Structure 1
Amino acid sequence: MIPSETYYTELVNPMTYQQFKALTEELIALNKTTGDEQTEQKINFTKLNQQRMKRVEKQFVIQPELNELLAQNNVNWNWLILVESWCGDGAQLLPAIAAIAEQTPGITLTVLLRDENPELMNTCLTNNSRSIPKLICIDAETGERIFTWGPRPTAIQEQVKQFKTLNPEVSHDELVQQIQLWYAKDRSQALQQDLYLLISEVLKQVSIA
């Protein structure tokens, strides 16, 4: 684990989930998006993502085993999540992560914009890329990083790999559309399975130590 200074130095524009949603609504009204690239594509994605987030919020149900795992172990964690309003994966995952945090008294969630927090983002790259969303779990007492997760659930990512192998000529837009269909069908199950396995392993290591 790494000292807290690495993570709590100059967090820029930390938000609650509700504040992030309010920011997204304001930007949509102004025909804008988060981040430096104010492209038509990203602005349109932000509008789509608002609807996706609302759908996930309505459909989300925490898995009993994950809920029990978090409740029984009395965790005391700060969750930081790096995201942008135009991010399709973020729109599918952030509402579910926020719901888990809200239902777990020992977890506090802070939403951070990737492009405003490059130093933090650079501590959790994926294959040297700044892929989001990224969830960082911090021990609230010691300030140590416990785990990072993201940018996509394992089961969804496996479907992406298989689809690319079978359809090497697929366009980026077609792939994005397919990924959104998988998320809609999955209903946050793959995310919760990942978190259950990850948190179980973390807590097991703590008990051994």
Structure 2
Amino acid sequence: MSTNTLAPVVAPERLATAYSYGAYRKLIDELQAQGKTTGIQQSEMLTHYTHLNVQRMQRLDKTVQVLPELREAVQNLKQPYAWLILTEGWCGDAAQIVPVLEAVAQASNGLFSTHYFLRDENLDLMDRYLTNGGRSIPKLVVLNAETLAEVAQWGPRPAEAQALFLSLKNSGATHEEYAEKVHAWYAQNKTQATQRELLTLVKSLA
């Protein structure tokens, strides 16, 4: 089915209000300096998570190496796409994944543009992309750059990390317990699972 027959996910005017990656990172840094984070809810705990996430993103910004086969796949696409990404500064999974999304987009020679929206300020968008009924982030929605119709989606985690998260949660683990184990998984995996799932997604666009 041609994506041209599908309704746009967002109007061009709304897409234009999204944060660039640089603006998103600057926003989080500025809020953190004020003892705050993104979103409506504010607490010492969320600010603490944001502090950790800034460190994670800074590290990933410097170390992510896009897989050669993924770089080749994104550069060989026949048309451009807009990546709509739902995220928040306090979200640990977003901190592990958003820098990878940006790195892949940067490797595409302009075929992918990234547009970052804060989840809690865009619940109408978020509620179209729930995971098991929850507002899990980050969420990537790939749009046809011309029509802004949805052509693919991904998130909130690589399948292996999602299975680990659900197993820990179902076993009664506290937030601190499952966060520690999931972040340890991310550290050990070194973005490989995220990139390989994105490779599958990109190949589906070809």
What is the TM-score with the length of structure 1 in the denominator? 0.89
Check conservation: 1:77, 1:108, Cα contact below 8 A: yes
Aligned to 2:73: 69
Check conservation: 2:18, 2:117, Cα contact below 8 A: yes
Aligned to 1:206: none
SS of equivalent to 2:66: coil
Check conservation: 1:78, 1:108, Cα contact below 8 A: yes
Query: In structure 1, which of residues 110, 119, 123 is the aligned counterpart of residue 124 of structure 2?
Result: 119
Query: In structure 2, which of residues 172, 176, 195 is the aligned counterpart of residue 173 of structure 1?
Result: 176
Deviation at 1:162, TM superposition (A): 4.6
Deviation at 1:11, TM superposition (A): 5.1
Aligned to 2:186: 183
Deviation at 1:172, TM superposition (A): 1.6
The superposition leaves residues 20-67 of structure 1 with CA deviations (integer Å, 9 ceiling, x where unpaired) of 111011001100011111011111101110000011112201111111
SS of equivalent to 1:7: coil
SS of equivalent to 2:136: coil
Deviation at 1:12, TM superposition (A): 8.7
1:41-56 matches, within 5 Å, as 41-56=45-60
Check conservation: 2:77, 2:205, Cα contact below 8 A: no
* Number of residue equivalences: 200
Q: Distance in 2 between matches of 1:125 and 1:141?
A: 25
Aligned to 2:24: 20
Letter in 1 for 2:144: D
SS of equivalent to 2:36: coil
Aligned to 2:138: 133
Aligned to 2:160: 155
Deviation at 1:163, TM superposition (A): 4.7
Deviation at 1:153, TM superposition (A): 0.7
Check conservation: 1:17, 1:109, Cα contact below 8 A: yes
Letter in 1 for 2:115: T
Q: Distance in 2 between matches of 1:12 and 1:181?
A: 36
Q: Distance in 1 between matches of 2:85 and 2:74?
A: 18
CA RMSD between the two structures: 1.7
Check conservation: 1:46, 1:86, Cα contact below 8 A: yes
Letter in 2 for 1:146: V
SS of equivalent to 1:35: coil
Q: Distance in 1 between matches of 2:203 and 2:107?
A: 18
Cα distance change of structure 1 residues 131 and 164 upon mapping to structure 2, 3 Å threshold: closer
Check conservation: 1:75, 1:107, Cα contact below 8 A: no
Identity, % of aligned positions: 37
Letter in 2 for 1:201: S
SS of equivalent to 1:62: coil
Q: Distance in 1 between matches of 2:168 and 2:85?
A: 28
What is the TM-score with the length of structure 2 in the denominator? 0.91
SS of equivalent to 2:10: helix
Q: Distance in 1 between matches of 2:166 and 2:139?
A: 20
Query: In structure 2, which of residues 176, 189, 205 is the aligned counterpart of residue 202 of structure 1?
Result: 205
Letter in 1 for 2:59: R
2:58 matches 1:59: no
Check conservation: 1:69, 1:200, Cα contact below 8 A: yes
Check conservation: 1:12, 1:112, Cα contact below 8 A: no
Check conservation: 1:15, 1:110, Cα contact below 8 A: yes
Any unmatched runs of 5+ in structure 2?
A: none
